[in-house]
Amino acid sequence: MLVRIPNVLSAEDVARFRHILEQQSWVDGKVTAGEQSAKAKYNLQIPQDSDTARQLGEHILQALGRNPIFHSAALPLRVYPPLFNRYDAGMQFDMHVDNAIRPVPGTGFRLRTDVSSTLFLSDPDEYDGGELVIQDTYGQQSVKLPAGDMVVYPSTSLHAVSPVTRGSRWASFFWTQSMIREDTQRALLYQFDQSIMQTRKALPDDHPAVLGLTATYHNLLRQWAEL
């Protein structure tokens, strides 16, 4: 399931992020890649343990905490601290799959990567190429969103960033361990939740149909959730 989430960051937030990131030193993106991914990865990143990455990442986590679409689509249990990358002209990330398990820096915990997220920090007219290409159950999809918008998709998906031929593509990326391990179940719950929200616009919250749908949603969540 691929879900696009608009306005995770405001235009003011994006401008502030870009100004801060422009002042930083970037390193080879291979530092956070697994053995297979490192052979396919050609980009730059902000050091994961830098104060900048931590501060900007915390701002993103706070924004996600207020975002109902992210919660509905990802059903997050744990979210990996956001990372930041850029692809200048000539850079790309060939087709790959994300590592299944990632240690969370400084915590002693590990996180299962169920849901991958890319939060765009460059507008589409700032660069050519650089599309996020995702292979999912509906075939291959190409994603290139306005700055501040985000896409979430299953971490099991093969995906790539196509070569940038002009300009520079900046983004934040991270992973979520969901309460619901299986993407098919997450997709059903997301669609169910969207239907409930549409029903609540047409009917009062105490209507039997709204109460019944809400009860069924939470009973499915109770049955499938892993905590």
Per the annotation, where are the binding residues?
A: 96, 98, 159, 169
C-alpha span between 213 and 219 (Å, rounded): 10
Annotated binding residues for 2-oxoglutarate, as ranges?
A: 169
Neighbours of 221 (CB within 10 A): 16
- Chain-centroid distance of CA 26 in Å reads 21
The amino acid at residue 148 is: G
Annotated binding residues for Fe cation, as ranges?
A: 96, 98, 159
Using an 8 Å Cβ cutoff, are 65 and 168 in contact?
A: no
For 171, residues 6+ apart whose C-beta sits below 8 A from its C-beta are 84, 85, 86, 118, 119, 120, 121, 122
Can you list the pairs that 18-26 forms with residues at least 24 positions away whose Cβ atoms lie under 8 Å? Answer: 18/121, 18/170, 20/52, 20/56, 21/46, 21/52, 21/56, 21/84, 21/86, 21/121, 21/170, 24/50, 24/52, 26/86
